[in-house]
């Protein structure tokens, strides 16, 4: 009942948990398209650890999102366009200890870069679904983990626990891949590096009476997205760039000679030269953006781990992934301080993974929330099917189930 079949060019596209079509520049939600993609450029300006902006990255301030917007028109109230992040307000105390979570204040530009690289999962990595097996292994090795299936009954042996955990998570990751890539194939949606450069090439869409106006241009945002004017350092020797769009954003790999010692920094660049925060050898994934695979995988995994353990929280009430100053980052030098990635719940980790893809310049919000919502259904359905096998309630072969 979750499958929709579309047809194009004599080919059938099977979509599971179809979220519907995303906003386009020539559709009724063009304003949402412009806002969502411009937000990616705005958040690129957050990748500067020297800008003086700090944030508390502990569960005292991050996480605990209660619901997601169901309409694209509501996304601007969910994301903090100017300062980054989402409506998560954090938690009053750690349920495992009964004590408040200790604040962890770090430069925003360090956290955003660490987040983007921690969850990047590109070439030469365990990939997004594999990353959640790494997290599962960390959970399995935690001394406070209780290996009670769904949090009840007798504690299982380590081997039985691992077999059931891997089976349930593996099934969910498979289903997430099938669903997300089915949607990607059918909607064939644009990536930020293409949308931002294309809108900026047309001009600005904020002032119909202003210079370089085009209805399909990019919205201006003072201090972040502006026009190049005469006398601007980006104007060019002969003023050839006057009237073009410029971004105050991460300056890109052209400003890095040695990744171990250099940082590109944030500054004014021509929009036509904007890059995602990625390696120059892997600028952006070579397939459609909508929906975000990271958002779909991560939320599905979070639902499985929550159901498997019978507890929404990491063992001990939070995760603890240590990040060493000036050692962790690969795309450039950094971070400038030590930090620990602390998430109270599996869902909080998933939510931060989703945001990492926006700060990294890979996805706009349009790709994100639908992937999270798909992941919720996929993860819960996959775990319930796995549990039916464990309880002996079904003998249907896995091959038949996949082809169903």
pLDDT digits (tens, 9 = 90+) for 215-241: 999 999 999 999 999 999 999 999 999
Structure confidence at residue 125 (pLDDT): 82
Structure confidence at residue 398 (pLDDT): 56
Contact 103, 42 (CB under 8 A): no
Structure confidence at residue 402 (pLDDT): 44
| Pairwise CA distance, residues 370 & 23, whole Å | 12
Of the pLDDT bands very low, low, confident and very high (cuts 50, 70, 90), residue 294 is very high
Helix, coil or strand: residue 71: coil
Structure confidence at residue 123 (pLDDT): 77
| Pairwise CA distance, residues 25 & 244, whole Å | 20
| Pairwise CA distance, residues 129 & 119, whole Å | 11
Q: Show the CA angle centred on residue 385, arms to residues 3 and 12, nearest 5°.
A: 20
For residue 376, what are its two tokens?
């919720």
Q: Average pLDDT of 240-258?
A: 98
Checking if the pLDDT of 24 tops 60, the result is yes
| Pairwise CA distance, residues 135 & 122, whole Å | 17
- Indicate the DSSP class of residue 252: -
pLDDT digits (tens, 9 = 90+) for 330-366: 999 999 999 999 999 999 999 999 999 999 999 999 9
Structure confidence at residue 397 (pLDDT): 66
> What are the helix and strand counts (H, E) for the chain?
10, 9
- Whose CA is closest to 341, among 128, 43, 115, 102? 115
Q: Average pLDDT of 163-191?
A: 98
């Amino acid at each position: 009942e979750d499958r929709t079949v579309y047809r194009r060019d004599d080919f059938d596209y099977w979509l599971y948990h179809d979220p519907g079509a995303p906003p386009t520049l020539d559709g009724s939600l063009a304003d949402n398209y412009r806002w969502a993609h411009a937000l990616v450029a705005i958040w690129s300006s957050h990748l500067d650890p020297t800008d003086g902006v700090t944030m508390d990255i502990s569960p005292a301030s991050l996480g605990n999102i209660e619901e997601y917007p169901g309409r694209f028109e509501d996304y601007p109230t969910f994301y903090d366009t100017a300062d980054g992040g989402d409506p998560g307000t954090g938690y009053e105390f750690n349920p495992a200890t009964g004590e408040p979570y200790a604040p962890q204040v770090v430069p925003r530009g360090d956290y955003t870069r660490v987040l983007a690289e921690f969850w990047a999962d590109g070439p030469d990595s365990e990939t997004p679904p594999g990353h959640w097996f790494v997290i599962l292994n960390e959970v399995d090795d935690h001394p406070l983990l209780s290996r009670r299936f769904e949090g009840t009954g007798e504690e299982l042996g380590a081997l039985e626990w691992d077999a059931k955990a891997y089976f349930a998570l593996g099934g969910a990751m498979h289903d997430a891949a099938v669903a997300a890539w089915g949607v990607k194939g059918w909607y064939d949606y644009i990536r930020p590096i293409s949308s931002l450069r294309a809108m900026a090439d047309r001009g600005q869409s904020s002032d119909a009476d202003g210079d370089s106006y085009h209805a399909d241009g990019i919205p201006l945002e003072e201090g972040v997205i502006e026009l190049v004017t005469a006398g601007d350092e980006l104007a060019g020797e002969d003023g050839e760039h006057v009237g073009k769009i410029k971004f105050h954003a991460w300056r890109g790999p052209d400003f890095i000679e040695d990744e171990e010692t250099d940082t590109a920094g944030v500054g004014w660049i021509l929009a036509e030269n904007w890059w995602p925060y990625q390696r120059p050898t892997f600028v952006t994934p070579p397939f459609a953006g909508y929906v975000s695979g990271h958002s779909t995988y991560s939320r599905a995994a979070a639902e499985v781990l929550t159901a498997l353990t019978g507890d929404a929280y990491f063992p001990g009430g939070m995760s603890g992934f240590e990040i060493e100053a000036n050692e962790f980052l690969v795309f450039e030098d950094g971070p400038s301080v030590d930090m620990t990635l602390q998430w109270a719940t599996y869902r909080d980790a998933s939510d931060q993974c989703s945001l990492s893809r926006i700060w990294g310049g890979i996805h706009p919000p349009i790709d994100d929330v639908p992937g999270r919502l798909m992941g919720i259904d996929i993860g819960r359905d996959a775990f319930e099917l796995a549990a039916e096998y464990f309880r002996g309630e079904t003998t249907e072969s896995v091959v038949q189930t996949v082809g169903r």
